[in-house]
Structure 1
Amino acid sequence: MNYRNYIYSLLLVAIIGTSSCTKLDEKPYGLTNTGSFYKTAADAKSAVIYAYSILPEVGYYSRGYYIITELPTENLSQKGDAGVSNFELDQLRTTSTNSDLDNIWTYLYRGISRANAVIINVPGIENMSATDKNQIVGEGHFLRALHYFNLVRLFGEVPLRTETLADVSQIPAEKSPVSKVYDLIISDLKSAEELMLPAKNDEGRANKAAAQALLAKVYLQLASAKTSSSPKYEFVADASAMYDQAKIYAGKVINEQSNFVFTNNLPDIWNTEVYKKTASEHIFDAAVDRTGEIEGNYSKLTNMFLAGDRPMTILYDANNPASASINIGQGWGHFLTEAAHYNGYPTNDKRKSQLIVSTYVNDGKVYNLDIASSSRPFSRKFIDPLRIGDKTSCNSPVIRYSDILLVYAEASGPTADGYAAVNKVRSRAGLGILNPALGLQEFRDAVVLERSWELAFEGNRLFDLRRTNTMEKVLVQQYGKTITSGAYFFPIPQRELDTNPLMKP
């Protein structure tokens, strides 16, 4: 389902229009009067679409999320004239005044506010089928859980807001312990799993499989963070139990549905004309469409990755000279692939040759990109040959089938199940099977490394390094980086500290 083109006509006016003020003073974001809304099934649908619309905004999954989760790793750096906040993130010396962190904080809580409105108001709508009502409320729980999962992994202790704001007095809120945030995330996702319909290919909308997949990732986060003594996860009582839960929920996605599947050909995973229309690896995306009117309806994320030299033509499959040539345009060259990542792939790994562009053609001339130059090889995951100018239909992947296969492998450990899952991913990449005699920690380390290649540039690497307590081991000891601040949690934005009197530095 493509909802991006009509989102604002459906709800923005409706929601804002319900606010009535007798004075002209401005009220804080989120304070609305819902008395004349949430009356019909159409209102419920509009409300949940509005909740989804935060995801592909520029400050979230269409740009800001990748700036924050990729620059602090060995995957990406940024061009020389990028903003100060980008360099702080890249060099791991973030401060509370970092504008990128302030931006993502704002978008996350906007998303939570919209999800809260759905969760609280939709159950009271009359003359709406129970099935439709449950689905929409379940989607609200899923979205709130996703936002809080991002928040807690980025910032640690954060305020828990589970009510709609009706008065300014509700704005101040204390930080909640990390354990309480996870309690809400798990509760929300279990509610979402219970309420939502089974998996179906409904682009940009969550379903039961998405809730199960995100639960698997949450349980793996808790298990591995406890096992590795990652900061602030001392509250986890039993890491083994968390690994068991991660395997159970990942197994539900792998074994109990068929709408999301393993794709054998790597380039096909990222073909917009495939994953938007048929069963694919994309369990849940922040969905966009190139025909949209404003950014957020469509995406410009592509331009962050693509080199800016000149318009480019590449082979659909770089490993197959007979495959079709596709025009991919040119970008801004904002994200620069780091040599540490590019040179780290195993020999003959197809994820490097097929999913990173190192050669292109322009006007009949072949150009080779150099990892040591300012115009470097770039990710092929975010391209749209049918782009309209800067407008693309490239969804931002939030949860992918291969991610869940690797969650299943890591949670299973060096068992037949674990090896089968990780070797399925390795086989597609053209690699041999993993050493069958690995110990438990060796096996899990190998799966995390596999994730670094398989899920590169998708916003997972920072969280994998944090949950395994290996920021220093990998980034400092292996790649020679320096960490000054923000290793395991970024500082709370100063604006929040200044305006929320209950927040403690």
Structure 2
Amino acid sequence: MNIKKYIYSAFVFATVLSSCQKLEEKPYGLVNTSSFYKTEADANSALAYAYAILPEVGYYSRGYYIITELPTENLTQKGDAGVSNFELDEIRTTPTNADLDNLWTYLYRGIARANSVIANVPNVEGITPANKNQIIGEGYFLRALHNFNLVRMFGAVPLRTGVIADAEQVPMAKSSLSEIYNLIESDLKNAESLMSIAKNKEGRANKVAAQALLAKVYLHLASSKSYNSPGYAFVDDAEKKYTDAKTYAAKVINDQSVFGFTNTLVDIWNTALYKTAGSVNEHIFDAAVDRLGVREGEYTKLPNMFLGSDRPMSIPYNPSNATSPIINIGQGWNHFRTEAGHYNSYANTDRRKTDLIVSSYTNSGTVYNLDINSASRPFSRKFIDPGRDADKMNANSPIIRYSDILLIYAEAAGPSEGYSAVNRIRARAGLGDLPPSLSVKAFRDAVVLERAWELAFEGNRLFDLRRTNGMEKMAQDYGKTITSGAYFFPIPQRELDTNPLMKP
């Protein structure tokens, strides 16, 4: 199933659902399955529909980055952005924040679609056991991903595990963080056992993706407990969770060869490379798009959020290579603006600054230099597509990549075993090794800082700050004042108003 067929299948399934009584997806997905889930084609269409939520504008093609990047030191927004953007940037979120309300809805829609796959595909006849297991495993993976995003963003939330067939099932009380994480862990272990290790089609999960996400979950639990992050007193043994994170990260690093380390930074973000079938690259799991799609969500406009708006731009493909070809990257909306604190935190020789942040460009033979203190600032070139068709772009949204897992291994393992992993990341960036003989705490702090540089603008920094109890220090260091929403965002007011079992 290529990406065009994948998107088309999702569209067909959505059409089938919308044509049946009581199937309107309000608020989370009321589903009538009596006339569906009969054949393998039905099962595949349902799975495609479950995946199709990821690259939607309100999720990984825009909304996710607004919510996870603006509250950090990485990005601020343009001056005429909406009120909700400013609330997030200034860490004073309210229950009526439209961006949070929007993502909340997408997360629960995603859970509803995954639940439908998990509940119904086991009863479909005429599918080989391997194919059936793969589809069900991907359903478990998707549900775990959505719940992991929910619990890290909002804390205690309703835990929905069944198909909603009637509106009376919608009201639901919150579950505890412990209950939510127990389900996430169970879902990912189910996914690991059911899915194949073979590299799946673009934008779909395999066993390695489940192992990688489980490593992220265990690290979040371990560090939240170790750093006394609010809400995580329920974790019994931080060191046990660090060991679990190390174990699962090691599976990704050592027990497979379908994903791997990319030696040249800019190649990680080369759409022509990472979308090539059979390539070994860093993209363990993405929200996949295709510029041949007919609507946003099938293609993406996410790069426009980062790109400057002054004029069309040309840049070297690889600034570290003097013979690198020049590529045209177009122009964007200048919505996301790099913050000076983050930009200035890099060493001047760090290739993640010199190669992955555009500080100058050429237009019609004239070189323009970007000033971090102006409106037209240096911007991330991670999200670009030189082959863009006007505003239709091919840039996938990275959800898990190999370097993330290397850094998870380093942090979880500690200095006794973690130096080689983090120093591999630093060597690619043109930097020397971390200082030797760091204490466990100092080493882990250094790895978290390395993650800030390596994974900048990819939606990880907020969660790294939250799990290491670092929001207040970040705010102090970068001139922010926290009013609300530092460690958990407020539950959207619409949910509180329509779900009588939700209590403040």
Q: Shared topology, TM-score over 0.5?
A: yes
Give the corresponding residue for 1:105: 104
Letter in 1 for 2:282: E
Q: Is the 8 A contact 2:10 2:48 kept in 1?
A: no
1:76/1:335 contact within 8 Å kept:
yes
Closer/same/farther in 2, CA of residues 26 and 86 from structure 1, 3 Å limit: closer
Structural mapping, 1:11-160, within 5 Å: 11-19=13-21, 29-160=28-159
Provide the secondary structure at the position in 2 that maps to 1:175: coil
Paired residues of 2:28 and 2:112 also in contact (CA < 8 A): no
Partner of 1:470: 470
Query: Do 1:18 and 1:37's aligned partners in 2 also have CA atoms closer than 8 Å?
Result: no
| Structure 1 CA distance for aligned equivalents of residues 333 and 304 of structure 2 | 5
Label 1:211 to 1:404 Cα distance change in 2 as closer, same or farther (>3 A).
same
Q: CA deviation at 1:5?
A: 4.0
1:326 maps to what in 2?
327
Post-superposition shift, 1:62? 0.1
User: 1:376 is matched by which residue type in structure 2?
Assistant: R
Which amino acid counterpart does residue 220 of structure 1 have in structure 2?
A: L
Match in the other structure for 2:423: 423
**Residue identity matched to 1:272:** T
| Alpha-carbon distance change, 28 to 359 in structure 1, aligned in 2, over 3 angstroms | closer
Name the structure 1 match of 2:208: 209
Alignment of 1:230-245 (within 5 A): 230-245=229-244
| CA apart distance, 1:20 | 6.2
Aligned to 1:493: 492
* Letter of the structure 1 residue corresponding to residue 60 of structure 2: Y
Distance 1:90 1:28 in 2: 28
For the 8 Å contact 2:289–2:297, the answer to whether it is kept is yes
Question: Residue 5 of structure 1 contacts residue 291 of structure 1 at CA under 8 Å; is this kept in 2?
Answer: no
Aligned to 1:258: 257
Percent of residue pairs bearing the same amino acid type: 69
Q: What amino acid sits opposite 2:107 in the alignment? A: L
The answer (yes or no) to whether the contact 1:201–1:279 under 8 Å persists in 2 is: no
Q: Give the CA deviation at 1:75.
A: 0.1
Name stretches of at least 5 consecutive residues in structure 1 with no aligned partner.
none
Asked whether the 8 Å contact 1:18–1:35 carries over to 2, the reply is: no
Cα contact 2:200–2:206 (8 A) shared by 1: no
2:282 matched residue in structure 1? 281
SS at match of 1:148: helix
Mapped to 1, the partners of 2:321 and 2:124 lie a distance apart of 55
Q: CA RMSD in A?
A: 1.3
Whether the 8 Å CA contact 1:16–1:32 is kept in 2: the answer is: no
CA distance in 1, matches of 2:25, 2:386: 44
Inter-partner Cα distance in structure 1 for 2:25 and 2:472: 46
Contact 1:219–1:245 (CA under 8 A) maintained in structure 2: yes
3-state SS of the aligned residue for 2:415?
coil
Deviation at 1:29, TM superposition (A): 4.8
Q: 1:305: which partner in 2?
A: 306
Q: Is contact 1:70–1:457 with CA below 8 Å preserved after alignment?
A: yes
Q: Quick one: which amino acid aligns to residue 329 of structure 2?
A: I
**Equivalent residues of 1:85, 1:98 under 8 A apart:** yes
| Contact 2:46 2:117 (C-alpha < 8 Å) held by counterparts | yes
Q: 1:399 to 1:200 in 2, by over 3 A?
A: same
Q: State the TM-score, normalizing by the size of structure 2.
A: 0.98
Q: Does the 8 A contact of 1:412 with 1:418 survive in 2?
A: yes
> 2:339 corresponds to which residue?
338
Q: Which residue of 1 aligns with 2:358?
A: 357
1:36 maps to a residue whose letter is S
CA distance in 1 between partners of 2:27 and 2:351 (Å) = 50
Kindly state the Cα deviation for residue 26 of structure 1 after the two structures are TM-superposed: 9.9
* TM-score, normalisation: structure 1: 0.97
193 and 27 in structure 1: CA distance in 2 versus 1, 3 angstrom threshold:
closer
For 1:138 and 1:405, the matched residues in 2 are separated by: 24
Q: Counterpart of 1:449?
A: 449
**Paired positions, count:** 500
Report the AA paired with residue 445 of structure 2: D
Unaligned runs of 5+ in 2: none
Query: What secondary structure is seen at the aligned counterpart in 2 of 1:159?
Result: coil
